[in-house]
Structure 1
């Protein structure tokens, strides 16, 4: 049985960002792509809305930039926003060349564009209400045809290997054999998504446990703006509807948010009503639910024709119908849920981190694009743009030799199989619940202090457990989630104002000067 592997590029994650990079390099490098489960189980696959891009003649790069800056509450990096938006059309054209079939206007040549919260134009290109699935399937099909791309399914990265200031590989847990192997590489790319699984309620699939962010932090990378967790305003509220998102495009096409008594309420919070940015909508729903003691609010699109709903929202219609909800006749019960990690590992426009030869792209990274609140459908765009730019940067350096450094195989001779896995499940539940209660949509100093105290105790237990027992998928994820949760809590404590997604009752005002929250780990000798 092989104990180690060697490639030019190791990509940790198989979503839009990771596969974009792999495909851009497939003709010139030997690439390993590892994913926790099957290839199509990441967040990309479940993205419904679409991809924001300047494609319409009435739209401009300047308008898209302006909208993004406004949604980001003055915290976006202007140069990054312009870099991303300026590359939006080319990125969409590349996706089309890879076989992504976007929705078109009936009987017309052009692509159908919709509008979402915060956008001043129709600029969301989509594949009905399953854009992520269309992108994921197309890129996966392309990747599987490339002889230079080797895919390792059901593999989980444990930690990065850093020697002499640069990343030279990673230790990876094989869920089938239950052994850890060394993956050596000239370049390592973190494309493992965000950390919304830190919260009790989330729209994300099970793998969103902040692995890339935690590994990069342990390897010596700075992280930024981890306090900005986007809560999607509308996830389906139903006991059997685990993590099912109700796309923002429903509000873009006239969907109305209603109280249990049928009254609209968003106009009391923002003149844009249902099309206000997500942070405003999520806080409004959270406030109304707490004010009324209600379990949910409702989203109603039933005033549109059944044919319109079936054509534009087939996935939402079908899923709701499975649960006995006919969205052509009745409103959808919805609640906010953790959805997107706006902060992450600090990178430049090529995805390069603080550690040599280590790149981070997609939701794992902090590029400065999203600021204090990600504007709808900018995330998949960021994945494609930075997947391409990181691939180009790596491509220019592929001739560099592999580091001639001795790296020991993973040593599990001093650990045993655990007979106390209840510790993992208990800590997991406790972590996600106090993060939801204390570090959620509305925060206070007292809540954050309580959360910090609890996460420090949990990490102490986890470190002891990790030292004595063999690793498992659940233990790896718990260790990473606890680490990322601490980063979120500490970042939230540093920001003494309310801005965008970070709202605190102790500092309700927004400061005049917008600054990033940057945390820096202690450097390893």
Structure 2
């Protein structure tokens, strides 16, 4: 058994930031499924929202966040985050992140604007902010002697006191982790464990997320006994590049913020018909508008047109998007970009407080895996990276202030009654089936009938996967499929519980928004509840 002060599962912005803030005083293990730069944070194009302009204000940022969140944001969480925006950006600058400056100089950070924001407040590094931030922080993590990086490792499950039996405090003591290259499961004990595993975009067949976004943290936390909230709110990014060879490439919100226009194939704009803010409406409104137009006209995609903007401006502000599109034969200075909506961000997750603590002692949730109350029913653009930074800092402070705890003896992973799988094709088929019916039945527009169909298929898949998991040795694909199905089940259960349309959840059976905003909170079964879980709608 390996022992650490802190085990961090996930190497996106939340995980890296927490590791760097904890490393001066603690021994940290950082677990990542692939390489350090392979998570969703590296793919973030837009930037980080923070109040840095004198014409802007914390009240305006908070108000924009509440409007996007459709009345469901927790005001304390919103205030907590926006008030710490400047400090978060200053910390990244101190780490050496090369943000874009005004006029290319060193005087001040260039601020752009995105949908839903009333001011220019998006700090960015051209159109590849996530990559710039991640590359900088990864360099610092690799140099720190107190951080041990375990690449090509995937967590199997958390180790909790309840799992260990009587006499052990009911808190999280680390995790079982599969070494993907060696093919064996390690036991990692930790005084504190942080889940920073990202979202669950791969539960849908069309997504902007990397392959690592398989809902691992939410599923593991749920199995361990954490409360989960608001999983019905899946944000679909309105503009993912539509091309047979363009896997998961999104066209940043900032493209519309700088004047990009959405058009039908005949060149007609359609967003003004759907919302007075037109292309600058929040993502859920834009995504539903595109979905409506595609279905209404029988289209494969719509077009995002920036040909009216100067070519030099596009080359300066969107160099990566311009080059990526050129790679597929699309010159965005001369022709519109074909786009479709795609699953982008999971607004719900493990219920956490302002210190990043879940409902299980010893376990923290940071970033997309957590439901902090910031996003409500719809995330405001570029608030996600800010959330990662703010809560990584607060969790690190909470861990630093905690008293010492002694890690008990943890049992090794037991493989004595399993064998190697005889038919891996079962996993591939189940993976494809899940992602297709989730897209068809639990997508941008939902009905009770579609949701019930999805729930029935999920139950069948859960039975198959449980049998497979109990019989064969674990593999990366099996673990991800197990987590995706668990996450899909949580999404559907939350969606069925919400009898209204709000934010990212739009139901044809309940098209109106109820006067009181309530969170959908799932409470997992315990030994005393005989396997039944509770669903509560909490103000």
TM-score normalized by the length of structure 2: 0.96
Which ranges of structure 1 fall in alignment gaps of 5 or more residues?
Answer: none
State the match for 1:245 in structure 2: 250
1:430 corresponds in structure 2 to 433
Q: Secondary structure at 1:497's aligned position in 2? A: coil
1:162 corresponding residue in structure 2: 160
Q: Which residue of 2 aligns with 1:88?
A: 85
> In 2, Cα distance between the equivalents of 1:406 and 1:14?
27
1:395 aligns with 2:392: no
Residue 169 of structure 2 is aligned to residue 172 of structure 1: no
Per-residue CA deviations over 1:209-242 (Å, capped at 9, x if unaligned) read 0000000000000000000000000000000000
Aligned residue for 1:56? 53
Cα separation, 1, equivalents of 2:279 and 2:405: 54
Separation in 2, partners of 1:516, 1:243: 30
Q: Secondary structure of 1:471's partner? A: coil
Q: How many Å apart are 1:5 and its aligned residue?
A: 1.1
SS for the counterpart of 1:488 is: helix
Q: Aligned partners of 1:116 and 1:246: how far apart in 2?
A: 12
- TM alignment of 1:418-457, pairs within 5 A: 418-457=421-460
| Counterpart pick for 2:515 among 494, 512, 516 | 512
Gap regions ≥5 residues in structure 2: 162-168, 529-539
CA displacement, residues 310-354 of structure 1 (integer Å, 9 cap, x when unaligned): 000011001000000000100000000000000000000011011
Cα distance in 1, alignment partners of residues 265 and 311 from structure 2: 23
Give the alignment partner of residue 140 of structure 1, picking from 114, 122, 138. Answer: 138
C-alpha separation in 1, matches of 2:526 and 2:122 = 42
Give the aligned partner of residue 267 of structure 1. 272
Q: Kindly state the Cα deviation for residue 251 of structure 1 after the two structures are TM-superposed.
A: 0.1
1:331 maps to which of 336, 341, 346: 336
| Structure 1 residues 110-509: aligned runs within 5 Å | 110-163=108-161, 164-397=169-402, 399-403=403-407, 405-509=408-512
TM superposition outliers: structure 1 runs of 4+ over 2 Å: none
Deviation at 1:406, TM superposition (A): 2.7
Contact 1:459/1:482 (CA < 8 Å) preserved in 2? yes
Q: Count residues with an aligned counterpart.
A: 520
User: Partner residue of 2:16?
Assistant: 19
CA deviation string 1:96-128 (max 9, x = no partner): 011111001115511110000000000000000
Alpha-carbon RMSD across the aligned residues, in angstroms, is 0.8
Partner of 2:69: 72
Query: Whole-Å Cα distance in 1 between the matches of residues 13 and 137 of structure 2?
Result: 7
In the aligned structure 1, how far is the partner of 2:117 from the partner of 2:14? Answer: 23
**Quick check: 1:18–1:191 contact (8 Å CA) kept in 2?**
yes
Is the 8 Å Cα contact of residues 220 and 524 (structure 1) preserved in structure 2?
no
In 2, are the aligned partners of 1:236 and 1:334 still within 8 Å (CA)?
yes
Q: Distance in 2 between matches of 1:83 and 1:353?
A: 17
* Alpha-carbon separation, structure 1, partners of 2:110 and 2:159: 45
Question: 1:114–1:122: 8 Å Cα contact kept in structure 2?
Answer: yes
The 2-side partners of 1:201 and 1:294 are apart by 16
TM-score by length of 1: 0.98
Q: Deviations over 1:276-301 (max 9, x none)?
A: 00000000000000011100000011
Shift of residue 148 of structure 1? 0.1
1:6 aligns with 2:11: no
